[in-house]
Amino acid sequence: MGGTFLPIATFVTGAAGRDSWMAVLPGYAVGIPYGLMVLSLLTDYPHENLLQISEKLFSKWIGKMIGFIYIIISGYYGGLMLTVIGVIFEQSMMPLTPRLVFYLGGLMLVFYLVETGIEVFARFSEVAFPMVVITMVLIFGLSVPRIEQGEIFPILSEGLKPLYFGVLKVMPFPMEYILFLAGVLTFLPTGKQELRQLKTGVWRTVFLVGILNMLVVLIQILVFGPVETIRAAFGFLVLGKMVEISRTIAGVESLFMMVWLGSLVIKCCAFFFMTTWGLDTVFSKKGSKWRLALGAVFLGIASKFESGASLTSVATFVEFYLILPFAFVWIPTLWGVSRWKKGAGVQRNA
């Protein structure tokens, strides 16, 4: 989930127009087979992440190369997520405060989470996720009076083709989750029952997040219309700003921002973790010293960006041209080779 719900409407509506909300769920559903493929490798290679498995199956150097790409992608995208924290807080809440302050605040939380370990990170997500969902539902509910039903009609006026592009635009988001799953594999239990629970978890996560993001896109189209939805970089923040009940509850977007911070920290932290796992697997570099260095890299990436617009374009580039193709090719190939080698082994034994 992370901070996906903030820009998703802009991306997907840009590709699929007023019917974009219909492309969200199928786009997320692509993640299910990928997730199941990753988890199926868990039984054959317990307590090993996909980078270690790649080294075993593809040879050491190809595995290291994949690991290197994994580090670059996750490190850079993690830095971009830190930038998102700074940009949205500066733009929406405190324009006079230097962005560096937001970066440092966000990075401190990320660092604290990373230092306390993956278990605390999982529990943090467990607490933050319901808060995010409740806030989203609150915004949906409070935006209902602003809905103009005509904005989504006529449905499928341009046929199914735009939906295809919409699905393509959504696909990088579940792939981010899959890449995280590829790294976190080391910490997952390998028992039969736990594996079944994990597989159910993949289904649930993809559908829950898919449905929520679909609603995010739908409500923005209904309130702003497709043109305005494409124009607003972080449309959901604008929606939060518009919340008003009588004259008593208004201008509460700063409260919503408190919740979004938790959600963005989760996403940034997930990529921080991914990078540290990559560094550990490929270069055997771990420990606080390397984590500090990585924090500095994140900060360096974040401080490169001057405006929100440049951030959006770079993030789109990374998602669409790096994350999507990398995960799209790597996971099925690895899974296929694993199946093939397993089959060959069985035949040889027979």
Partner 1 sequence: MRSWMKMIKELTIRPKGERKIRNSPSYSFDEDLKKPLSGQTVKEILSKSSDIVFREFFLQGKERIPCMLVVVDGLVDKNLLDEFVLKPLMVELVGHPELAKATLSNVVDITIQSLLPGVEIKKISEMKDAVSSILSGDSVIFFGDSSEAIVIGAKGWANRGVNEPIAESVVKGPHEGFTETLRINTSLLRRKIKHPSLRIISLKLGDMSNTDLVVTYIEKIASPDIVSEVLLRLGKIKMDSVIDVGYIEEMIEDNPYSPFPQIAYTERPDVLAGKLLEGKVGIILDGTPIVLVVPAILTQFLNVNEDYYQRAMTAILSRFVRYVGAFVAIVAPSVYIAVTTFHQEIIPTDLLMSISEGRQGVPFPALLEALTMTVVLEILQEAGLRLPKPIGQTIGIVGALIIGDAAVKAGLVSPLMVIIIGITAVSSYAIPYYDLSLAVRLTRFPLMILAGILGFFGMSVGLYAGLIHLLSLRSFGVPYLSPIAPLRIRALLQDTFVRAPWWALKRRPQLIDVEEPRPNGKG
Among 62, 100, 108, 296, binds partner 1 (CB under 8 A): 108
97 binds partner 1 (CB under 8 A): yes
Cβ–Cβ contacts within 10 Å for residue 289, how many? 9
Return the residue of 46, 47, 100, 116 that touches partner 1, per CB under 8 A: 116
Site for partner 1 in 247-286 (CB under 8 A): 247-248, 250-252, 254-255, 257-258, 261-262, 265
Amino acid present at 286? K
Q: How far apart are CA 2 and CA 87, in angstroms?
A: 16
Binding mask 51-90 for partner 1 (x = CB under 8 A): --------------------------------------x-
> Comparing C-alpha atoms, which of 98, 100, 77 is closest to residue 270?
77
Mapping DSSP onto H, E and C, the string for 252-297 reads CHHHHHHHHHHHHHHHHHHHHHHHHHHHHHHHCCCCHHHHHHHHHH
By CB under 8 A, residue 219 contacts partner 1: no
Q: Out of 28, 77, 102, 273, which residue is the one contacting partner 1 (CB under 8 A)?
A: 102
Contact map string, positions 299 to 328, toward partner 1, x by CB under 8 A:
------------------------------
Of 17-25, 95-103, 161-169, 332-340, the window that binds partner 1 (rule: CB under 8 A) is 95-103
Place of tokens 């019917």: 19
Among 126, 159, 287, 349, binds partner 1 (CB under 8 A): 126
Kindly state the tokens that stand for 56: 């075993």
Is 241:41 a contact under the CB 8 Å cutoff?
no
Cβ–Cβ < 8 Å for 57, 265: no
**E strand or H helix at 95:** none
Which residues of this protein are in contact with partner 1, per CB under 8 A? Answer: 89, 93-94, 97, 101-102, 105-106, 108-109, 112-113, 116-117, 120, 123-124, 126-127, 247-248, 250-252, 254-255, 257-258, 261-262, 265
